[in-house]
């Protein structure tokens, strides 16, 4: 797979380019809403703008209302259900709604359900309104622009957490005040910077910014002190390294060495100490300093929360304790066992779902994730069969890396009801449907290939 866009092919393998997008007034403006929604939602502008301009503009509400209106007008509701990804997440949503009346606190679970419905707008809009591979490409460029904006804002709004002795990089407010969320969204968006670099030529501003992002974003992720983010980053690089052509491996290894050294230079020593606790064993009791002790206690606490989430899953395997109610149920369980209540989330997306909505909900959620990986694999295989679709293979690879980022970081954070997965799932569903639709253009092109003299004689 090369970094250049679609190139001309010999007559035996006709060139194919994406069909021009439909220009109907109800569809083209709708796609612009998709691009705006991706950028506004992913960069968390509704949280950032009030801090910059001094007052709120209800940007999140306005964007969501416009998005829902576009989906209803364009008929995207019908189109999106052709995807198994959408069907699986719809089943998860239905089960979540079913669990609300059976929750240990129905009011709190209702609020969590509403929050999930808002996150689901990302899936509905992208899966329903993106029409064709060309629009998929532009949507991925919007993802790249979004993560680059987050990286740029980190230079102005990022600072060491004042309440955390490990001096982890985070924003001073909003979603990115949580260093783990900052690392997660940077990693989910990072592969789309790679996609821009591989599918564009020249010195366009987005391409130059994406090339810088490929170096700066990994360093920022390391500075957040997110252990799940570090593991995801290593895994993503390993996948890219071992699938790259042989002549690219040495430059990639040198780039990785440079990034490692740069990260060691700009990251605080206390943050680096935090990473040592990834390999902490349960019988360790001696710590070199207060920072190491704090990080080690955090690791142990997460292990206890993980075991508690498994226990609650075993006790409530069918409907769980209610959406968003792990903390409440865990506190009650701790009180019965005469242990101090932790009042923390599970710090694991998958046991968060199993403990709060039961095993059926976990199955639906994991099925959606598996269908996303399957869509990326199908697109990569199809691109391999049609060399003229080089950029489709780059799309599939970038989406797969993004899914890996979500999956790995999700094992260390409670992200079940956030927009992180729905927005990537929407891209996967759109890519899957667009590939099936636009691939039909290959058949007429293949029929225009002149027949060989031997075939012409047989016809005669």
At 9, the pLDDT band (50, 70, 90 cuts) reads very low
Handedness of CA 329, 331, 335, 337 (dihedral sign): positive
Task: Give the pLDDT score at 374.
Answer: 97
Tell whether the model's pLDDT for residue 389 goes beyond 90.
no
Tell whether the model's pLDDT for residue 349 goes beyond 80. Answer: yes
What's the CA gap between 317 and 63, in Å, rounded?
Answer: 37
Residue 459: per-residue pLDDT? 43
CA distance 151 to 158: 9
Q: Of 10, 37, 48, give the one whose Cα is nearest residue 171.
A: 48
What is the band of 387 on the pLDDT scale with cuts at 50, 70, 90?
confident
Q: Indicate whether 388 pLDDT > 80.
A: no
Residue 450: the pLDDT is 44
Q: What 3-state DSSP class applies to 283?
A: coil
For residue 200, pLDDT over 50 is answered with yes
Mean pLDDT for 257-261 is 94
Which of 333-337, 407-411, 426-430 has the least mean pLDDT? 333-337
pLDDT for residue 321 is more than 70: yes
* Predicted pLDDT of residue 26: 39
Q: Stretch 336-365: mean pLDDT, rounded? A: 88
Phi, psi at 160, each rounded to 5°: -65, 140
Mean pLDDT over each residue of the chain, to the nearest integer? 83
Tens of pLDDT along 412-433?
999 999 999 999 999 999 999 9
What is the distance between the alpha carbons of residues 357 and 329, in angstroms, rounded to a whole number? Answer: 13
- Residue 59 predicted with pLDDT over 90: no
Tokens 């790249």 -> residue: 144
Interior CA angle at 98 toward 95 and 102, to 5°?
125
Does the structure show a pLDDT above 50 at 186?
yes
| pLDDT band, very low/low/confident/very high, at 284 (cuts 50, 70, 90) | low
Report the pLDDT value the prediction gives residue 131, as an integer from 0 to 100: 86
Residue 221's pLDDT is 96
Residue boundaries of the structural domains of the chain: 28-436
What single string gives the DSSP state of each residue in 329-362? Answer: HHHHHHHHTT--------S-HHHHHHHHH-HHHH
Q: What pLDDT was estimated at residue 302?
A: 81
pLDDT tens per residue across span 118-177:
999 999 999 988 988 999 999 999 999 999 999 999 988 877 544 444 478 999 888 999
Structure tokens at 446: 């293949």
Cβ-Cβ contacts under 8 Å for 134 (sequence gap 6 or more): 18, 19, 20, 21
Q: Are strands 169-171 and 158-160 parallel, antiparallel or unpaired?
A: antiparallel
Q: Rounded to an integer, what distance in angstroms lies between the CA atom of residue 256 and that of residue 385?
A: 31
d(CA 274, CA 108): 34
d(CA 9, CA 84): 34
Residue 409: the pLDDT is 96
Contact 44, 174 (CB under 8 A): yes
Copy the structure tokens of residue 114: 């509403």
Confidence category of residue 290, pLDDT binned at 50, 70, 90: low
Helix H or strand E segment including 417:
none
- The whole-number average pLDDT for the span 341-348 is 82
- Is residue 168 within 8 A of residue 161, CB to CB? The reply is yes
The b/e string for 184-209 (b: 16+ C-beta within 10 A; e otherwise) is bbbbbbbbbbbbbbbbbeeeeebbeb
Residues paired with residue 171 on neighbouring β-strands, in sequence order: 158
Contact 408, 228 (CB under 8 A): yes
Per-residue model confidence (pLDDT) at position 10: 35
| H or E segment and range at residue 159 | strand 158-160
Give the residue with greater pLDDT, 458 vs 217: 217
Percent of the chain at pLDDT > 70 equals 81
Per-residue confidence (pLDDT) for residue 291, from 0 to 100: 59
Q: Which residues contact 257 (CB under 8 A, 6 or more apart)?
A: none
CA distances from 355 to 5, 207, 315 (A): 46, 43, 9
Q: How far is CA 151 from the centre of its chain?
A: 16
Only one residue has tokens 């050294």, namely 261
Q: Which two tokens stand for residue 178?
A: 């949580």
Rounded Cα distance between 136 and 50, Å, is 31
Q: Would you say 193 and 217 are in contact if contact means Cβ atoms under 8 Å apart?
A: yes
Separation between Cα atoms, residue 367 and residue 365, nearest integer Å: 5
């Amino acid at each position: 797979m090369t970094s250049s866009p679609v190139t001309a092919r010999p007559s035996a393998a006709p060139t194919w380019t994406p069909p021009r997008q439909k220009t109907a007034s109800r569809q083209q403006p709708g796609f612009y809403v998709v691009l705006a929604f991706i950028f506004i939602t992913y960069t968390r502008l509704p949280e950032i703008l009030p801090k910059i301009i001094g007052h709120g503009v209800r940007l999140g509400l306005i964007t969501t209302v416009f998005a829902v209106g576009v989906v209803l007008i364009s008929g995207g509701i019908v189109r999106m259900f052709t995807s198994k990804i959408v069907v699986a997440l719809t089943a998860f949503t239905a089960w979540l709604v079913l669990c609300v009346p059976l929750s240990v606190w129905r009011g709190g679970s209702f609020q969590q359900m509403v929050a999930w419905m808002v996150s689901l707008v990302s899936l509905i809009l992208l899966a329903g309104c993106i029409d064709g591979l060309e629009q998929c490409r532009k949507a991925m460029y919007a993802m790249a622009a979004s993560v680059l904006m987050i990286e740029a804002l980190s230079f102005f709004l990022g600072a060491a957490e004042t309440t955390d002795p490990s001096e982890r990089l985070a924003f001073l407010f909003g979603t990115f005040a949580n260093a783990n969320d900052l690392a997660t969204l940077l990693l989910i968006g990072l592969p789309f910077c790679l996609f821009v670099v591989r599918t564009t030529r020249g010195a366009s501003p987005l391409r130059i910014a994406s090339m810088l992002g490929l170096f700066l974003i990994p360093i920022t992720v390391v500075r957040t002190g997110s252990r799940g983010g570090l593991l995801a980053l290593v895994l993503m690089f390993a996948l890219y390294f071992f699938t790259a052509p042989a002549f690219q491996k040495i430059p990639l290894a040198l780039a990785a060495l440079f990034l490692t050294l740069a990260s060691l230079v700009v990251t605080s020593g206390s943050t680096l100490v935090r990473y040592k606790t990834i390999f902490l064993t349960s019988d360790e009791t001696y710590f070199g300093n207060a920072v190491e002790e704090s990080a080690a206690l955090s690791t142990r606490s997460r292990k206890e929360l993980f075991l508690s989430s498994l226990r609650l899953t075993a006790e409530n395997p069918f409907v769980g304790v209610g959406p968003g109610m792990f903390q409440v149920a865990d506190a009650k369980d701790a009180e019965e066992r005469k242990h101090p209540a932790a009042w923390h989330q599970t710090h694991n997306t998958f046991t968060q779902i199993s403990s709060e909505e039961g095993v059926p909900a976990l199955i639906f959620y994991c099925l959606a994730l598996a269908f996303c990986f399957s869509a990326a694999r199908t697109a990569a295989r199809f691109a391999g069969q049609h060399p003229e679709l080089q950029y489709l293979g780059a799309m599939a690879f970038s989406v797969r890396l993004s899914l890996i980022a979500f999956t790995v970081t999700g094992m260390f954070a409670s992200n079940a009801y956030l927009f992180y997965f729905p927005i990537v799932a929407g891209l996967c569903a759109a890519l899957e449907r667009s590939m099936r639709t636009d691939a039909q253009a290959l058949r007429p092109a293949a029929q225009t290939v002149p027949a060989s003299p031997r075939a012409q004689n047989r016809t005669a």
